Amino acid sequence: MNFTPGANDFSEAVESDRAHVWHHLSQHKRYETTDPMVMIEGKGLRLWDAQGREFLDAVSGGVWTVNVGYGRTSIADAVRDQLVKLNFFANSAGNIPGALFAQKLIEKMPGMSRVYFSNSGSEANEKAYKIIRQIAHNKYGGKKHKILYRERDYHGTTITALSTTSQNQRRDQYGPFTPGFVEVPHCLEYRSQFGPCEDYGVRAAKAIEDVILREGPDTVGGIVLEPVTAGGGVITPPEGYWETVQEICRKYDILLHIDEVVCGMGRTGKWFGYQHYGVKPDIVTMAKGVASGYAAISCTVTTEAVFDEFKSDPSDPMSYFRDISTFGGCAAGPAAALENLRIIEDENLLENTTQMGDYLMGRLEELKQKHDIIGDVRGKGLFCGAELVSDRETKEPAPEHIVQAVTADCMAQGVIIGATNRSFDSFNNTLCLSPALICTRNDIDAIVNAVDGALERATAS
């Protein structure tokens, strides 16, 4: 560790940040009276900021990204070695780490075959929408161009990705949106839209079919779904949901696009979230954990059948995928991703994620017994949430200021946890816990103990 609390003076950088950096999802007025947080160094699950404070990071870089933890010199070395050899060439040509990573990735995704590189989750999703749209034009005269997305899911920040995002606080004031995207109902059983029902999963999936029939099956070409909804409230799919979704997609010839931007690369205890449910997607997108944030990389992965649609007629200049992403040609991304994948494999991090995820869920269940404010706990692997309510009977969501008081209290204790935020008017009420896949029981105990104390204080009055 190069960082010695107290011995380093970062005040100039902090002032420059205050003066010139526009932070994501942040209201800046408060930085007129308080310092913006500036992170300096990380190791494992630990982080240090410019004031020398040490934190235990329970959200993998704030947004489910640093899956293998901070300070991985082997990833830094792999990136450096690649950069001095070749940093970039447009991805109309290949590069060595890109080819090797694509092969390794496809080995983890039976049934899939092609990898398209770009830089962010939003961009990977945009590529998927373009693929679905182009197939609609080439095969169905443009008619089957509609793409379904689900209430409460998030698919990114660009205008079209936002057009498929059902979170009003992320969307409002950024319209008008891209036409041709249609919402389907959520699948959160805790807040069933159909009253109590035995087969909620099947019922929620059938609600998608209702939308398809309303719109006309010959107009719907694709559906995008998160395997486990992330920022929309850690929504795990109810039993029977995915099987029925798959049946519906097959019945109406609809391409199934699964957004694994958060769940991909081990977060849920399997390489990909959809692999828990026996589902066979046509397109899978991924970003955050692909290189654990050591370099920017995202992937849009398709089946060979989807890929074939773009090479069948070489005489037609409009038939192939006419898309480019400049920085999809950066070799640092796949170099980092390759080493990241090796670490997950060699350190058995999928197994650790399953075991530690079960432990974390058990500890959250204990908290639920103790604190009435917890209405529901949900999760898969190291991707867990606790929904806070004012009243367990009515399930009235806890007010956002209470939720924020809990996260702030944890931060004051040196533990960084997350919560759904700037997403909904009334459902910014789910605490999010997603430590790196290397975490231990001691880490989880420290995280849960911090949440326990924070809940105690937030509900004391």
Ligand X SMILES: Cc1ncc(COP(=O)(O)O)c(C=O)c1O
> Is 50 or 163 the residue whose CB approaches ligand X more closely?
163
- Give, in order, the Cα–Cα distances in Å from 32 to each of 124, 398, 408, 412: 37, 29, 19, 20
Residue with smaller CB distance to ligand X, 145 or 155: 155
The residues, ordered by sequence, that sit 6+ positions from 100 with a Cβ below 8 Å of its Cβ are: 334, 338
156 versus 334: smaller Cβ distance to ligand X: 156
**Nearest distance from C-beta of residue 158 to ligand X, angstroms:** 7
Q: How far is CA 198 from the centre of its chain?
A: 29
User: Judged by CB under 6 A, which stretch of 27-35, 115-123, 144-152, 423-431 contacts ligand X?
Assistant: 115-123
Least distance to ligand X, CB of residue 227, Å: 9
Rounded-to-integer distance, Cα 233 and Cα 253, Å? 30
- Nearest distance in Å: CB 457, ligand X: 29
Using the minimum distance from each CB to ligand X, give the nearer residue, 79 or 262: 262
Q: Among 126, 259, 400, 409, which residue sits at the site for ligand X (rule: CB under 6 A)?
A: 259
- CB closer to ligand X, 263 vs 437: 263
Q: Do residues 286 and 261 make contact, with C-beta atoms less than 8 angstroms apart?
A: yes
Taking a C-beta distance cutoff of 8 angstroms, is the pair 235, 186 a contact?
Answer: yes
Work out whether 126 is an interface residue with ligand X (CB under 6 A).
no
- 8 A C-beta contact, residue 207 and residue 244: no
Q: Is residue 128 involved in binding ligand X (CB under 6 A)?
A: no
Applying CB under 6 A, does 59 fall inside the site for ligand X? Answer: no
Q: How far is the CB of 122 from ligand X (least distance, A)?
A: 3
If the CB atoms of residues 287 and 388 are measured against ligand X, the closer one turns out to be 287
> Least distance from C-beta 395 to ligand X, angstroms?
24
The binder of ligand X chosen from 49, 57, 126, 226 (CB under 6 A): 226
- What's the min distance (Å) between Cβ of 258 and ligand X? 10
230 binds ligand X (CB under 6 A): yes
Q: How far is the CB of 22 from ligand X (least distance, A)?
A: 16
- For ligand X, give the closer residue by CB, 262 or 331: 262
Radius of gyration of the chain (CA): 22
Q: Is 157 in the site for ligand X (CB under 6 A)?
A: yes
Provide the mask over 17-56, with x wherever binding to ligand X is found by CB under 6 A and - wherever it is not: ----------------------------------------
Residue 134 or 420 with smaller CB distance to ligand X: 420
Stretch that binds ligand X, among 47-55, 66-74, 255-263, 356-364 (CB under 6 A): 255-263
Instruction: Tell me the backbone φ, ψ of residue 7, rounded to 5 degrees.
Output: -90, -10
Q: 154 or 252, CB closer to ligand X?
A: 154
Give the binding-site size for ligand X (rule: CB under 6 A): 16
Residue from 42, 69, 156, 237 binding ligand X (CB under 6 A): 156
* Contact call for residue 261 and ligand X (CB under 6 A): yes
Q: Does 376 bind ligand X (CB under 6 A)?
A: no
Joined together, the tokens standing for residue 253 give: 């010839």
CB of 322 to ligand X, least distance (A): 22
Q: How far apart are CA 155 and CA 178, in angstroms?
A: 14
Q: Which of 215, 216, 188 is nearest to 204 (CA)?
A: 188
Residue labelled with tokens 């870089």 = 61
Of 125, 118, 155, 122, nearest to 334 by C-alpha is: 118
| Nearest-approach distance from CB 426 to ligand X, in angstroms | 20
Determine, following the binding rule CB under 6 A, whether residue 283 of this chain makes contact with ligand X: no
340 vs 363 by CB, closer to ligand X: 340
The nearest distance, CB 214 to ligand X, in angstroms, is: 26
Which listed residue (44, 97, 221, 231) binds ligand X by CB under 6 A? 231
Residue nearest to ligand X (CB): 121
By CB under 6 A, is residue 155 in contact with ligand X? yes
Tell me the HSE value of 166 on the side-chain side, using a 13 A CA sphere: 20
Which residues of this protein are in contact with ligand X, per CB under 6 A? 63, 120-122, 125, 154-157, 226, 230-231, 259, 261-262, 287
